[in-house]
Chains A and B, each alone.
Chain A
Amino acid sequence: MKPNMPLVTLLTGAALGVGVLVASMLSPSSTASASGYGATPAASKSMAVKPAPASSASGGTSAAAPATTSATTSAPAPATTSAPAPATTSVTVPATAPATAPGTVPAATASVPKADVPSKADYVARTDSGGAAVAISVHAGKAVAYMCNGHAVAAWLKGTAKAGKLELTGKNGARLDVSYRTGKATGSIMADGTKYSFSAPLVHRGSSGHRPPGLYEATATVHGVKIKAGWVVLPGGSQVGSVEYFADADVTPTAQAPVLDLTTGTAQYDGVTLVASLISGFTGSGF
Chain B
Amino acid sequence: MTAQPDASPPAPADVSLGIGKLVVPSLIGGLVALTLGVYGRLHHPTGVVVNIAGFTSAGYVKSWLATVATAFAIVQVSSALVMYGKIPRVNAPSWIGSLHKWSGRIAFLVAVPVAVNCLYGLGFQTYSTRVLLHSLFGCAFFGAFAIKMLILPKRGLPGWTLPLAGAVVFTVLIGVWFTSAFWFFSTFGLHR
Contact = CB atoms under 8 A, between A and B. Distances in A.
B125 A6 contact: no
Interface in A17-43: 17, 20-21, 23-25, 27-28, 30-31, 33-34, 37
A4 B153 CA distance: 7
B166 interface: no
B150 A6 contact: yes
A172 B47 contact: no
B56 interface: yes
Contacts of B46: 24, 28, 224-225, 246
Interface residues of B, number: 40
B116 A224 contact: no
Interface residues of A, number: 42
A253 B122 contact: yes
A223 B49 CA distance: 18
Interface stretch (A7-15, A44-52, A76-84, A258-266): A7-15
Interface in B76-132: 101, 104-105, 108-109, 112-113, 115-117, 120-122, 125, 127-128, 131
B48 A28 contact: yes
B187 A193 contact: yes
Nearest to B127: A255
Contacts of B153: 3-7
Given A10-B146, A152-B128, A224-B44, 11 more contacts: A6-B150, A7-B153, A16-B112, A20-B113, A24-B48, A30-B50, A33-B57, A34-B48, A152-B131, A223-B44, A246-B45
Interface of B: 44-51, 56-59, 101, 104-105, 108-109, 112-113, 115-117, 120-122, 125, 127-128, 131, 145-146, 148-150, 152-153, 186-189
7 contacts: A17-B116, A20-B117, A30-B50, A33-B57, A37-B57, A151-B128, A246-B45
